[in-house]
Structure 1
């Protein structure tokens, strides 16, 4: 995005003026979107994501909380809000909040939803950059289809006509841009929206098979054979699972045969979601995902009807899961490699560790506003529990650079240990990082070894390294009397001790962003050291539970 694109226009949405923007907003193109408007839809698609009636009340009162940014407006129309990031506007224009008004279910909620939609149509029925971009447009069309039964009046009305006319125009534009070269990593929502159109618009049903074939191809592309989503974002795993379950239920309601690949993908995605669940039932924080509300994951998993257990590893996605006793460790290994398009977060060999329902070692989380300073900071290597060098980010290997022996896992009598090797700093610093993790069968002890192996003389500027262990903000942290150990007390009252033989052990401030808009202060354990010449450095550390 250029600097000029960050300047707000009258509607509060950043400016953008590309050749395609000029074409799409032109009079001839807008005239070409006119088509037959049906009086009714053949079907109301199923949305399995739960709504929040309290959130609908907040919106009714002028509190608009999107993408982690809360904004109060005295005006009932939020479209002209200024000073909000683009991520806020995108979420507003996706209309996901319709499920919150539907959860309220009152006539007042219906009237307010209709008023907001008519207001939107009056301002944005013709093309506006960002508002009509593929990702926002796809989500909006899906939500308008799914909540058409809640919105539309029983008898023919002006609202019904304007609503369906706008929906049809948006759908036609989305159908046209679907033929363009993909700009997004994941286009599932585009094909879902187009498929819903063929099921809901009576005159488009002949196109169902063609759109279904494209959707099946996209599902096979975005979900790898091991069940990991190409984003490596746990929240994206859960969202895609919910969309697939809703799509399956919609096809069944329409008496359309559910493709085998959809059922198979649901059966693979559900264990993948369980893979990323900590003992509290919420998701681990990798690659920008949030942990979600309590019970949210289990609710969607129950609707999937998929019973597969969490796998131990994702060889293509690049994750390992170590479970012993009540202890759980999830680590991003980088195995399988990454394409440049995949890279947003730099948490190579970063891990999270929990015991029962309590998280101890965490990553810092993510932000919905990926291009903001916060979004970039949370995507950095320093925001993960792993090795770092100054302000450098670790490089994930490409698919061609992956070594088959980079991850070795061993299990014996309930004990689990993992040997990992990373070349994330090979080009920038000139070293390899080997990390060994061990959890005993009881789950009461986690031991680690980090070995730094220089392959060339490190520069003075990049010779200082840090091993970071971000701690959950609910923990109480103190130093032992001698200052050589870190003592940790959990909310349940259990005690843990972090110890290391490294000479430089400190506690530093950190931040925890597990849900959009959250910024909780926490602490991080930092082991600092210095590379000297080409001598390898070995750092040993352990986290053990104290007896009651």
Structure 2
């Protein structure tokens, strides 16, 4: 395993935070006044919105993360007690604006709500003016106010005040998507100003290029390794590009290249249901929204982007055969400080078929209860192997270190590697990681084969002492090999405890077999589809691996397979 964080790192970050907070305390609580610049009217393509949710907001019914607030058609939610902090973050981030704009009376209501917000928060408020939330709000306001007329000019003044605040807060934005959104909001605001050149536009374009070069990998993945983060990055960049185009301004080469790289990588990380794979803090997302984003820059909208077989920088493999897809995480955790949502599930895998998702990881949803966040980052929450009841790495948990650095990955899984071969008979993938080597002297290897029609998926998980190494122990070490299934899948264990019947949506049947065992069915939970956890099932193989094993004996090798039952309708 690789140690990534030391006490000195935490002390250095905390010292920088203390200085930044002291400087902020000396500044005025509100941005300085000044004449708001004249803004030109634009009509860029807006983000995809849901009419049903927009109609609910128009009627005064606000719903998020399973919580509901009803203020009536003539009320607004900015002067009442909110259900929770996560509800408040969603509300003040204004990510719901595209939903509201999707209904006929939505644009006027959107401006009205922005005005109500400005009136309610005309004074200092540490929550709503937190830098990350401010950046998200200004990005969303930028799109909406570009497309919605403001005849009174009142919103232009309020928009300008918030943007001055954001400009001052840029150094305090969190690394990652928050920083990307902040720079994009600067570009959009600058692009709308009638008088040019403008400092917002120039600074924003430079800052956006810097964030793109840092965050968007060469293969189009996001530096956080989260598939959903790639979707959010594409949404942010497409919106910025749309405003620049209608304003008659040229974006940078970095912006164009980032969009062109993101689209095929997102296609690589999509399942057959159109949603995203759920690795490293990601969730399924809305297939309709993803479709709309993928068409945002297509030369021919009717031709879908072609996925890659492998993202060499992101570290994901896509094994697609017939109508079935296997996606494998064959890389380590992202670099600091982009690891606050990273998971410890190297070699985890997911499978989808024509009926939808079959094998999954537990995943995460931004609206889920915070108490679930840490458990779903462990290897037990993935379709992967756990040795001695511990993940292949550790996450900071409490104390000064986490207070200074957040819930970062303190110790990573070390070297993660993969080798792939494609033949006429199918696709072979061999992966391995060293996450258990320091503690137990064993390497975890996972081999996969997907047949040419996709209906024969075979795997082998083994634990072995590398050639030339001296075993740390000759005692047995307990392991658990877990296969989590989507809530639409029903699992029935056979009497021999070595196979199980899997039925998707009451129709398609698959047979799971293993030479390990005994095989057991245990409860699981799926969080990647909605804010509310959904009960599901998992198959678990428990065993004892020899500390000096070579990965060839029955104790240290578990073989398994998924095979579609031909012509079966359950």
TM (norm. structure 1) is 0.86
Residue 233 of structure 2 is aligned to residue 240 of structure 1? yes
* Distance (whole Å) between structure 1 residues aligned to residue 59 and residue 389 of structure 2: 43
Shift of 1:70: 1.7
Shift of 1:130: 3.1
Shift of 1:201: 2.8
SS in 2 for 1:299: helix
2:433 to 422, 432, 452: 422
Shift of 1:309: 1.8
* Distance (whole Å) between structure 2 residues aligned to residue 32 and residue 360 of structure 1: 52
Q: Which residue of 2 aligns with 1:199?
A: 191
Shift of 1:374: 1.1
SS in 1 for 2:521: strand
| Residues 1:35 and 1:370: Cα distance change in structure 2 (over 3 Å) | farther
2:114 to 97, 113, 117: 117
C-alpha offsets along residues 234-282 of structure 1, whole Å, 9 cap, x if unaligned?
Answer: 1221222222222222211111123222222221111001101112222
Unpaired runs of at least 5, structure 2: 1-16, 395-408, 466-470
Shift of 1:526: 0.5
* Distance (whole Å) between structure 2 residues aligned to residue 263 and residue 334 of structure 1: 27
My pick for the range that moved more, 516-525 or 385-394, is 385-394
SS in 2 for 1:90: helix
Show the 5 A alignment for 1:76-91. 76-79=75-78, 82=81, 84-91=83-90
Does the 8 Å contact 1:324/1:414 carry over to 2? no
Q: Which residue of 2 aligns with 1:315?
A: 312
SS in 2 for 1:313: coil
Q: Which residue of 2 aligns with 1:342?
A: 339
* Distance (whole Å) between structure 2 residues aligned to residue 81 and residue 449 of structure 1: 56
Residue 482 of structure 2 is aligned to residue 485 of structure 1? no
Residue 216 of structure 2 is aligned to residue 223 of structure 1? yes
Shift of 1:225: 1.0
Report the number of matched residues: 518
2:350 to 352, 368, 371: 352
Q: Which residue of 1 aligns with 2:442?
A: 431
Q: Which residue of 1 aligns with 2:490?
A: 476
Show the 5 A alignment for 1:130-141. 130-141=127-138
Q: Which residue of 1 aligns with 2:384?
A: 386
Residue 297 of structure 2 is aligned to residue 304 of structure 1? yes
* Distance (whole Å) between structure 2 residues aligned to residue 122 and residue 304 of structure 1: 38
Shift of 1:182: 5.5
Show the 5 A alignment for 1:507-546. 507-535=521-549, 536=551, 537-546=556-565
| Residues 1:340 and 1:334: Cα distance change in structure 2 (over 3 Å) | farther
Q: Which residue of 2 aligns with 1:456?
A: 472
Q: Which residue of 1 aligns with 2:13?
A: none
Shift of 1:30: 4.1
Q: Which residue of 1 aligns with 2:181?
A: 189
Shift of 1:339: 3.7
* Distance (whole Å) between structure 2 residues aligned to residue 266 and residue 477 of structure 1: 41
* Distance (whole Å) between structure 2 residues aligned to residue 493 and residue 32 of structure 1: 60
SS in 2 for 1:243: helix
Q: Which residue of 2 aligns with 1:294?
A: 287
Residue 39 of structure 2 is aligned to residue 48 of structure 1? no
Q: Which residue of 2 aligns with 1:261?
A: 254
Does the 8 Å contact 1:469/1:525 carry over to 2? yes
Shift of 1:478: 1.0
SS in 1 for 2:162: helix
Unpaired runs of at least 5, structure 1: 1-16
My pick for the range that moved more, 71-80 or 261-270, is 71-80
Structure scoring higher RCO (CA < 8 A, sep ≥ 6) equals 2
C-alpha offsets along residues 274-309 of structure 1, whole Å, 9 cap, x if unaligned?
Answer: 101112222111112221223332222122216652
1:505 to 509, 512, 519: 519
TM (norm. structure 2) is 0.83
Shift of 1:61: 4.2
Shift of 1:482: 3.2
* Distance (whole Å) between structure 2 residues aligned to residue 320 and residue 192 of structure 1: 31
Shift of 1:193: 0.6
| Residues 1:291 and 1:427: Cα distance change in structure 2 (over 3 Å) | same
Does the 8 Å contact 2:428/2:447 carry over to 1? yes
Does the 8 Å contact 1:64/1:72 carry over to 2? yes
SS in 2 for 1:342: coil
* Distance (whole Å) between structure 2 residues aligned to residue 438 and residue 494 of structure 1: 21
Q: Which residue of 1 aligns with 2:12?
A: none
C-alpha offsets along residues 8-33 of structure 1, whole Å, 9 cap, x if unaligned?
Answer: xxxxxxxxx9886686577x614651
C-alpha offsets along residues 319-353 of structure 1, whole Å, 9 cap, x if unaligned?
Answer: 11111222211011115864453252222111001
C-alpha offsets along residues 425-466 of structure 1, whole Å, 9 cap, x if unaligned?
Answer: 233444210111111112111111111125422888xx3211
Q: Which residue of 2 aligns with 1:33?
A: 32
Shift of 1:150: 5.6
Does the 8 Å contact 2:31/2:165 carry over to 1? no
Shift of 1:57: 2.7
My pick for the range that moved more, 258-267 or 503-512, is 258-267
Residue 563 of structure 2 is aligned to residue 547 of structure 1? no
Does the 8 Å contact 2:175/2:337 carry over to 1? no
In angstroms, what is the RMSD of aligned CA positions? 3.0
SS in 1 for 2:28: helix
SS in 2 for 1:525: strand
SS in 2 for 1:521: strand
Q: Which residue of 2 aligns with 1:327?
A: 324
* Distance (whole Å) between structure 1 residues aligned to residue 70 and residue 305 of structure 2: 46
C-alpha offsets along residues 209-251 of structure 1, whole Å, 9 cap, x if unaligned?
Answer: 3431221121111111121111211122122222222222221
| Residues 1:401 and 1:62: Cα distance change in structure 2 (over 3 Å) | closer
